[in-house]
Structure 1
């Protein structure tokens, strides 16, 4: 069944979007390879909240990677808007931060892994049309893995082969991944522990790489919190295009209004699953947890 987005664009236009997303991911990968496993070249940059407290860390490489992606996108689509984790809004002089087409970027998702030489980080690229993700890409340049999703099409791996989530209808047989327990509030951690009491095994690592493993049929459930829009929008076309389900932890559709005038939640809590039944069963323990 065709989606609204698919009906609005020809295959040629969608293919052009994918071509540019792949080209941008290639450019990002070239920059990352120049710095990976070269700690003397990597500089840590602290990010501060409005109270002057350190809330997150990035590196000099994050910004270089984002600049490379932005350059490719603007060369091909100069009228599209871009929102990056490092640089915020990239706006043409005659536009405000609201448009039909918006690219959302996370140049290095998993900066800690990158800094410590663990090749499980990735570059995330999403294209939104009227705030709905129509293109998503996860790229891991060191392992040479890439997943690309197009709304209304089957998700593909780096070889252009369709990927598919695996069947797992019982929570007790599911393998669950999360990046770290430190990313959950106390209430979220309690809810998360209720899920892990019911599953086969919880594993902590891999960050965005998990979201490629899930559509490829290697894992069953992912639960994460404290995410910005650049952390998850690229996953949606990939997971859905592989037969999976991804929502917030109250079973609501994930949504980010692509405008600087929109007051988004401070962070998002998400659950992704390869099997709809496992998704529903896990949600029983995760729903209605108040954010701190």
Structure 2
């Protein structure tokens, strides 16, 4: 069985690569597809147009129509896995994790296994189902290549409470980061709306029609070509700190998407969720947790102070 979608190329998309345009068009319709999946469908003949043969690198033209046969997804079972975790706090309602860099928070296209959620299920942790089939208990996330603290809901009341606190911007979320360049202001805020990048739907960007996004920053230490920062999120948009710093001309060191090619030697962006605070959903007591800087970032700072980098 499959679903057939008919897609038309608009004037703004004239000249785009076929595989990228198809991926972004299907994502706009709500399909959870990746570019590699679309490339497979092209190779399998699941995409048809007036042209007899289609290649991923073809360029689309305004007014063209394409038919895509989307296969039914194979059923996926959310399974527990034996993955070590640093559990900072756990009770009947919440579990706070200090996530290492490189670990994905929950299963999604391209990462159906080996995630933080799989690890929690593997250790027998019961999570609220309110986040969805593959996001149980997940009320907020940090990127795969960002390290540090996040909280997951074990009970439904905890999920509702934490989600409400996030909407009210009352959850304390502070990050430590190393950015390119020397910021001239000691402190300040970046108030710029964030939405999908109209030129690349896989990225986020500061856009006129984006959602409100505010990031507070404070300089901790300056180096010759880098700045060590403390940042506080007032809102929590996708890739917010990464996008905001790139927008100011000071992208995160090591950021593979928003940063420069020549950067500091670190696997992923130099960003660490350092402090997390919230009101406990059951006791109504304020809880606050702090995670020490990971070894990779601490090593970079040491080498910057020694002027080795």
TM, length-normalised to structure 2 = 0.28
Higher helix share: 1
Give 1 or 2 for the bigger CA radius of gyration: 2
